[in-house]
Amino acid sequence: MAADRPVARPRPIYLNLFAIRQPVPAIISIMHRASGALLFLAGIPLVLWFMQRTLASPEGFAAAFGPFATPFGKLVLLALAWAYIHHFVAGVRHLMLDLHLGIDLPSARRSAAVVLVLSVLLTLIVAVRLW
Amino acid sequence: MVSGAGRQPVGAHYGTRDWLSQRVTAVVMGLYTALLLVIVLWHGGMDYATWKALFSGGAFRVASFLFMVSLLVHAWVGVRNILMDYAKPTSVRLVLQTAVVCALVAYAGWTVQVLWGAS
């Protein structure tokens, strides 16, 4: 009966994103989105520019690596490397979830932590190779 | 687009095509990434002659083209989702989505030029 319904009480709305403690899967989810946006905005044009330069001539091949030898260039490259690696590893986790692998909560949280740690470790390998 | 009297509000799988194309393109890109990584590590680095020879092969050009087309389709699904979530006014969303589509089509043309252009 509609008349028996309890009257809705005004409840507090508490949506301060910086005060809510996010679970690990939520953190890697937003990082998946952020890294994807970065790869679209900077990654695609940079890859095409790099391919064009490196395939053009031996001089172009050598010159294309020039910007990535500067400290700023290395940081940009490292940020993009992290974005690609994180997006890749988080994507593999997504495909596994699609195949119903590890969909119970403890497994999903554990795999999310693995994504976070593994992508940082792989990015560190890139950093070591860069410096 | 789905509209009209036959529209089924829930459980109609209107997003299945986007969902599936995102997964299929992801697998294509993953395989290409692994292939390129193995090739570079196999040669212990890359010089111009090896790089040029690699991309003069027809099969590798086609594989690279498949990767780039997958990347552009994948990017469209993802960026469209982002814009649907954050760009609320329809006019703003239309302008941004149009800009993204233009950029992706231009990138496709650039890809063909890089892979098969006179160079």
Angle at A81 between CA B114 and CA B23, to 5 degrees: 75
Identify residue A35 by its one-letter amino acid code.
Answer: S
Mean pLDDT of all residues in chain B?
A: 92
Q: What is the ipTM of this complex?
A: 0.89
Q: Which of B30, B55, B119 sits opposite A88 (nearest CB)?
A: B30
Give me the DSSP letters along A76-93.
HHHHHHHHHHHHHHHHHH
- Spatial distance between the Cα atoms of B93 and B84, rounded to a whole number of angstroms: 7
Record: contact A52-B78, CB cut-off 8 A: no
- Spatial distance between the Cα atoms of B119 and B116, rounded to a whole number of angstroms: 8
pLDDT of B118 reads 62
Q: Does B23 touch chain A (CB under 8 A)?
A: yes
Record: contact B110-A55, CB cut-off 8 A: no
Which A-chain residues 2-31 have CB contacts (< 8 A) with chain B?
none
State yes or no: pLDDT of A13 exceeds 80.
no
Count of CB pairs separated by less than 8 Å, A with B? 52
Closest CA to A51 of B78, B98, B36: B36
The burial of B11, by beta-carbon neighbours within 10 Å (0-12 exposed, 13-18 middle, 19 or more buried), is given as exposed
State yes or no: pLDDT of A11 exceeds 70.
yes
Q: Work out the average pLDDT over B57-86.
A: 97
Instruction: Give the start-to-end residue ranges of the domains of chain A.
Output: 23-130
Which pLDDT band, with edges at 50, 70 and 90, does B1 fall under? low
Nearest-Cα residue of chain B relative to residue A98 = B23
Which pLDDT band, with edges at 50, 70 and 90, does A83 fall under? very high
A46 close to A84: Cβ distance less than 8 angstroms: no
pLDDT of A3 reads 58
Structural domains in chain B, sorted by start: 16-116 (1.20.1300.10)
Q: Which of B33, B47, B110 sits opposite A88 (nearest CB)?
A: B33
- The domain made up of A23-130 has a fold known as 3 helical TM bundles of succinate and fumarate reductases (1.20.1300)
Nearest CA-CA distance, residue B116 and chain A, Å: 11
pLDDT of B5 reads 73
Mean pLDDT of all residues in chain A?
A: 91
Segment B20-58, tens digit of pLDDT: 999 999 999 999 999 999 999 999 889 999 999 999 999
- Spatial distance between the Cα atoms of B78 and A51, rounded to a whole number of angstroms: 24
B70 close to B28: Cβ distance less than 8 angstroms: yes
A48 close to B114: Cβ distance less than 8 angstroms: yes
State yes or no: pLDDT of B13 exceeds 80.
yes
Best of A17, A31, A35, A44 to mutate (most B CBs within 10 Å, chain B): A44
Entry pTM? 0.88
Record: contact A58-B48, CB cut-off 8 A: yes
Identify residue B77 by its one-letter amino acid code.
Answer: V
pLDDT of B117 reads 87
Nearest-Cα residue of chain B relative to residue A37 = B79
Q: Does B78 touch chain A (CB under 8 A)?
A: yes
pLDDT of B31 reads 97
State yes or no: pLDDT of B14 exceeds 90.
no
